[in-house]
Homo-oligomer: A and B are copies of this chain.
Amino acid sequence: MAQKPSIPKGTRDFGPVEMAGRNYIFDTIRSVFKLYGYAPIETPSMENLSTLLGKYGDEGDKLLFRILNSGDAFSGIDFSQFHVEGGAPDEYNSKALSLKVCEKGLRYDLTVPFARYVVQHQNDIAFPFKRYQIQPVWRADRPQKGRYREFYQCDVDVIGSKSLLNELELVQIVDKVFSIFGISVCIKINNRKVLTGLAEICGFPDKVVDITVAIDKIDKIGLEAVEAEMKEAGLPESAVEVIRPVLLLKGDVQEKLSVMRGLMSGGSASGAVSETGLKGLDELDELFGLIAGAGVGQETELDLSLARGLNYYTGAIFEVKAKDFAIGSICGGGRYDNLTGIFGLPGMSGVGISFGADRIYDVLTGLDKFPSGMKSSAKILFANMGDSEVRYLVPVVKALRDAGVSCEIYPDTAKLKKQFDYADRKAIPFISIVGGDEIAGNSVNVKNLESGEQKNFSKDDIQSIIDFIR
Q: How far is the CA of A262 from the CA of B390 in the complex (A)?
A: 30
Task: Find out whether the CB atom of A41 lies under 8 angstroms from the CB atom of B16.
Answer: yes
Q: How far is the CA of A136 from the CA of B41 in the complex (A)?
A: 15
The chain B residue with its CB closest to the CB of A381 is: B37
Dominant SS among interface residues on chain A: mixed
Task: Find out whether the CB atom of B42 lies under 8 angstroms from the CB atom of A13.
Answer: yes
Task: Find out whether the CB atom of B45 lies under 8 angstroms from the CB atom of A2.
Answer: no
Within 8 A of B (CB), among A405-430: 405-409, 411-412, 421-422, 425-426, 428
Task: Find out whether the CB atom of A39 lies under 8 angstroms from the CB atom of B66.
Answer: no
Residues from chain B with Cβ under 8 Å of A77 in the complex: 90, 92
Q: How far is the CA of A78 from the CA of B91 in the complex (A)?
A: 9
Residues from chain B with Cβ under 8 Å of A82 in the complex: 74
Task: Find out whether the CB atom of B66 lies under 8 angstroms from the CB atom of A40.
Answer: no
Within 8 A of B (CB), among A116-133: 116-117, 119-121, 124-128, 130-131
Stretch with Cβ within 8 A of B (4 or more), from A93-101, A315-323, A450-458: A93-101
Task: Find out whether the CB atom of A395 lies under 8 angstroms from the CB atom of B294.
Answer: yes
Residues from chain B with Cβ under 8 Å of A467 in the complex: none
Question: In this assembly, does A372 line the interface, its C-beta being within 8 Å of a C-beta of chain B?
Answer: no
Residues from chain B with Cβ under 8 Å of A411 in the complex: 128, 158, 161, 163, 165-166
Residues from chain B with Cβ under 8 Å of A436 in the complex: none
Total interface residues on A, CB under 8 Å, equals: 124
Question: In this assembly, does A327 line the interface, its C-beta being within 8 Å of a C-beta of chain B?
Answer: no
Taken residue by residue from 4 to 46, chain A's Cβ proximity to chain B (1 for < 8 Å, 0 otherwise) reads as: 1111100111111001101100000000001111111111111
Stretch with Cβ within 8 A of B (4 or more), from A47-55, A224-232, A238-246: A47-55
Total copies of this chain within the assembly: 2
Task: Find out whether the CB atom of A120 lies under 8 angstroms from the CB atom of B68.
Answer: no
Task: Find out whether the CB atom of B74 lies under 8 angstroms from the CB atom of A126.
Answer: no
Question: In this assembly, does A440 line the interface, its C-beta being within 8 Å of a C-beta of chain B?
Answer: no
Task: Find out whether the CB atom of A19 lies under 8 angstroms from the CB atom of B5.
Answer: no
Question: In this assembly, does A329 line the interface, its C-beta being within 8 Å of a C-beta of chain B?
Answer: no
Distance from A227 Cβ to chain B, minimum over Cβ atoms (Å): 35
Task: Find out whether the CB atom of A121 lies under 8 angstroms from the CB atom of B8.
Answer: no
The chain B residue with its CB closest to the CB of A138 is: B45
Distance from A203 Cβ to chain B, minimum over Cβ atoms (Å): 31
Within 8 A of B (CB), among A141-178: 149-150, 158, 161-163, 165-166, 168-169, 172, 176
Residues from chain B with Cβ under 8 Å of A165 in the complex: 384, 390, 409, 411
Question: In this assembly, does A269 line the interface, its C-beta being within 8 Å of a C-beta of chain B?
Answer: no
Known: A5-B119, A44-B7, A408-B130. A35 touches B342 (CB 8 A): no
Task: Find out whether the CB atom of A406 lies under 8 angstroms from the CB atom of B37.
Answer: yes
Residues from chain B with Cβ under 8 Å of A406 in the complex: 34-37
Residues of A within 8 A of B (CB): 1-8, 11-16, 19-20, 22-23, 34-48, 50-51, 62-63, 65-68, 70-79, 82, 84, 88, 90-94, 97-98, 101-104, 106, 116-117, 119-121, 124-128, 130-131, 136, 138, 140, 149-150, 158, 161-163, 165-166, 168-169, 172, 176, 290, 293-295, 341-344, 377-378, 381, 384, 390-391, 394-395, 398, 401, 404-409, 411-412, 421-422, 425-426, 428
Not counting A13-B120, A74-B82, a sample of 16 additional A-B residue pairs whose C-beta atoms are within 8 angstroms of each other reads: A5-B116, A5-B119, A6-B48, A7-B44, A7-B116, A16-B40, A16-B41, A37-B377, A37-B378, A46-B149, A46-B150, A68-B98, A68-B101, A76-B90, A293-B391, A295-B395
Q: Which 3 A-B pairs have the closest CB atoms?
A: A2-B344, A11-B44, A16-B39
User: What are 7 contact pairs spanning A and B, CB under 8 A?
Assistant: A7-B47, A8-B46, A34-B406, A35-B407, A73-B97, A130-B377, A166-B411
